[in-house]
Structure formats: C-alpha cells, structure tokens
A and B are shown apart, each in its own frame.
Chain A
Amino acid sequence: MSDKGRTFVVSATEQFWKPSSRRSFLKLLGVGGTLVLAPTLFEACDSYTPVTAPGTGGSGGAAALDLSTDIGILNYAYALEQLEAAFYTAVVGSAAFGSLNAEQQEVMNDLRNHEVIHREFFKAALGAGAIGSLAFNSTAVASTLTSGAVILKNAETFEDLGVSAYNGAGKYLKSADYLTLAGKIVSVEARHAAAIRDIRDAAGVSGGDATGTRFAGDDVVASTGATAGLDVKLEPSSVLSRVGSTGLLTTMVSISASPSGTATPDAGPPSPTP
C-alpha cells in the first residue's frame, strides 16, 4: 500500500511528540504525501480540532506549497516574507515601538522596509503563480508587540528562522537564477539576525553566548563537530512547523508535495528564542 497522495494533518504541536503521528508524518514525507498545518496549530491552542483536508481551514483560507517545483520553493519564501513584513509593519505602528531607543527604532524601520520589499518582490516575480496573501490572527500578532524586549525577541526568532529557511531550501532550487536571487536575500536576513542579536546582547540577553559574540553565537553557528562554523538550516517542514507554533497565521499553509532532493539533518536556532 502506498501513502502517496494521502494527507497528514497536524493540528497541534504535541502531535510531533506522539510516536504514531511522527511515524505517519515521516512516512508521508518519504512518499510525497500532503502535510497540513491546520489553523488549530497556528492558533497554538491546547484543544484538538480535526481537520480533514486542505481548504477547510476556516476564515484564513489555505495555501498549498508544491515544493517539488521552483515556483513552490519561491512561494515558500514568499509566505515567510509575508510573515516578516506583517510583523515589522505591526512593530513600527505599535505602542511599544516608542519605548525602543533611537538605534533600535532605526533597525526596526529598516527591517520593515527590507521585508516589505522582499514580500512585494516575490509577489511581482511570481505573478499568477503566487499564493494569496496570508491572513493573520490579530490577537496573536498583538501578543508579539507587548514591550520593546518582546519585540526584539520576536524579531530575532523571525530573522534566525528566515536564515534557516533559505539555507535549507537553496539546495532544492533547480534554476541557478533563482538560487542567486535567494542568495541575495538570505545574506540580508543574516545581517538582520546579527544586528538584532547584537542589540539583545548589549541589552544583557545572553542565551548562553559569551558577551559580544551573540551576533553569530554558538547557539546558531555550530561550534563543535563536523559542521563547526556553519550557520543554522531547517528543512521546509520544520520551518512551517515552527511558524505554525507561533499562532500568527490563520491561513492554512500546507506542503502538497515534498521537495525533490535529499533532506539533510536540521540545525535550527533555539526554539523558543531565549
């Protein structure tokens, strides 16, 4: 019996801890089944509401990513850029923004500009092939903006996640031009990540890193073993799982086809971010 074409619905993060769910999940990844991150997962609630298929996710609609194609990979990037752009747009309009110092405000404004540009660029480049605009849970978004410190912590999470996502997806692109485009963006995300981490370093957040090293700390750049000196990376399914656990999206984002290529072991940033 083949699982190809079958759908595995993840509606609560705890499912990943249950052996039977994990086994079905891994099995499906191997055969190109459909992984659905249900809205219940995005809302990060404890209750479990079964969802049977993509497209029945509720008010936020759905977006299916066929990661076996370059267009699907670019849409995956577009989804992440939509998330980042929405976050920073909300940041600069938030009450807590005023509590940030001048340096921090400059960085938040820059990051808002860059991420909105990335979002609009992908939308224009993908044209008719683009997924729709993602919808956000306004209550969840508000919870990311409750203070300057909370804003900076969430910014770090998004930037490190962005670096992880691009680093993990580049190998699946078939077009050299698209790979170069992704490369042009990922180094900007890495600059952002380092800047936010450095700001939090100066504010006394160590996360286990020695003072002055958090911009490229040992918690994100491997410091031991065969991958020492290498930055974070996550496979798309891992990134979407983490996005789901933020509870920010009401759109149901699903992977309708796995990437064509060999997955590598994940080396993600700490989650949750210290």
Chain B
Amino acid sequence: MDRNQTILGNVEPDITQRLVSRREAILKGAAVGSSVAAGLAMMSAPIAFAALSREAFGQSTPTSVQAVIDFALKLEIFENEFYKAVLGISAVPAQNAAFAAVRAMVPAAAIPSIQQIQKHEVEHVAFLTANGAVNSLRLDGTSFDFTGGRGTGTGPFAQATLDVNFLLLVAQGAEDTGVRAYKGQAPNLMSNPAVLEAALRIHSVEARHASKIRRLRRMTGATSVKYSGTITGGGAGAAGAGNVSNPAAGAVTALGLIYAGEDNVMQGGINVTALPNLPSGIDVTAAATEAFDEPLTASAVVAIVQPFFIPSLS
C-alpha cells in the first residue's frame, strides 16, 4: 500500500480510491485483461491503471462505469435514509423526529410494504459498495434535507412531514426518479455486461416499488393514479397529486421536473399512438405514455435531487 500511495501521491484521492478498490477486486479474482495482469505482476500501478482506464472504465471516458455506480450509490443512500426517517429507524434522531407526526398517519397495512422497500434500498447500497462504488461525499443520515430545502428544513416538501398523502407523493417521486435515472445510465454501462445486468435488476426493483407506492396512493384517494402502477402522461400532472391539498409552488415545479418528458409517444421514430391493431375505444395517448417509461440524463436527475442533498452534487 505504501508503494501505491507513493506512486499515486499526486493523483486525485477519488481516483486513488477507485484504483485501490479496483485492485482489491482484481485480487479477489475479477476477470481482467492480460495487460492489467501484466501491470500488476510488475507491481507497476501506472501501467495497471492505464490499462484499467481502458478496460474497466470504457474505451475513452472515465465517466463510464465507475461514475455511474458512484452516482447510483448517492441516489440509493438518499432513498435509504429517506425511508429510514419515515420508519423512525434513522441513526439521526432529528430525522426520525421530523416524521414522527406523519408516521402515525401511515396506514398500518402500508408499513410492511415500506419496510420491504427500505430493505431493498439498504441492499442496493451494499451491492453497489461491494462492487466498487465510492461514497466520495461521505453521505449519511445527516446529509439530507427531506423538505427539499438544502438544509434549511423549510423546503417545498415540508408538507410531507404533516400530510400522509403528500408523504406518499414524495416516495412515489423518489422511486420514479430512481427508475428514470437507472434507465438513463444503462447505455453507459454497456462496456461491462455484468454491471449492466445488475443495474437492470436494480432498475426493475425500483419500478416495482414505484408501482406499489402508486397503488397505495390510489387506494387512499389519488383517483387519477392507475392501479396498474404505470405513469399516465407527463409533467406535474403525471404525479397524480389531486388528493394533495395546496402543494407548495416549489413542489409542483419539482414534480414537473420528475415527470418531464414522460408524455413522449415517439419511440424509435415510431408514433405509438398511430400503430395499427390497437384496441378500440381506449384512450390511445394515455395508454401510449403508460406503455413506455422514459429515461432522464444524469444532469436532469441532479437538478431534481440536489435540493434534498445538503452537499453539492455538481
């Protein structure tokens, strides 16, 4: 390790961590190309690192696999800490206290569902970490302001601590954002099929979560939300916030970002609403938007979630 630190002394710490964790992965038997093995055999970190840059991070850009799993880890920690606060099991007493009032309003039957979701978020954090994702911002329960106020505690989502309908709306927004984020990053993982497949398997779990939260909302008065758990239309209207009274203007704006573009009906150059043989008598536009979920770019996701993160994500 001393040798590594000396050689990498001038390298950005984040990169050093990545290299060390990649090196650990290699020592644990991960398959690597012969040039990496040769570099390691010669104990020449720069050679191994250069090879890893090509083989593990993609052909040319280091924004690939490592950046994606680091980004995913941030989102999973956020989701996990959110549900922990909602359930009253955060390590941060103030987070638990903030949701104490609304916690008592959550239907008893919904608690096991929320616990199941939170369990998966913990597992996603563990999976990403075990596969080399780095929590470079050292995010923990103290890193978030679930009112969307960047630490003021008075953001546009403060209503979630008082109104259970609004709380579930926020959970839905978090899950749907997660689905869109993973979908948007999938092409950046193509250089590593194993990681891509794992990400797809996390992506569909987030979609299951989103569906369940939507169904919970439908059962508690959100009449424009579908029992099928799918997203109808786009923009703030796709949130189905009809059962939430007087949401803050900032919350409506945020919901508009979360569902921006979900009303797309052009898929692969084909207008889905104009396809032949569709069932008669249906709302074709609604069905077309429900049948395809849309991706978001990393920057669009950051714009949505930054208000909930106290540290800067950019």
Contact = CB atoms under 8 A, between A and B. Distances in A.
A169 B175 CA distance: 24
B255 interface: no
17 contacts: A110-B290, A113-B291, A117-B287, A117-B291, A125-B270, A167-B204, A176-B187, A188-B207, A189-B204, A191-B228, A194-B209, A195-B215, A198-B211, A211-B112, A216-B117, A229-B121, A229-B205
A167 B277 CA distance: 28
Nearest to B176: A187
B287 A113 contact: yes
Contacts of B196: 170-171
B208 A216 contact: yes
Interface in A237-252: none
B110 A212 contact: yes
Query: How many B residues are at the interface, by size bracket?
Result: 35 or more
B116 A121 contact: no
A143 interface: no
B230 A180 contact: no
B275 A190 contact: no
A185 B228 CA distance: 14
B210 A191 contact: yes
Interface of A: 89, 103, 106-107, 109-114, 116-118, 120-121, 124-125, 163, 166-168, 170-173, 176-177, 179-181, 183-195, 198, 210-213, 215-217, 221, 223, 226-233, 261-262, 264
Nearest to B108: A212
Contact of B183 (A180, A216, A261): A180
A215 B201 contact: no
B126 A117 contact: no
Contacts of A261: 193
- Those 5 A-B pairs whose CB atoms lie nearest each other, nearest first: A229-B123, A212-B112, A190-B207, A176-B187, A194-B211
B190 interface: yes
Given A188-B290, A192-B230, A213-B112, 16 more contacts: A89-B279, A110-B228, A114-B228, A121-B275, A167-B197, A170-B186, A171-B200, A180-B187, A186-B207, A187-B293, A212-B113, A215-B208, A228-B123, A230-B198, A233-B200, A264-B197
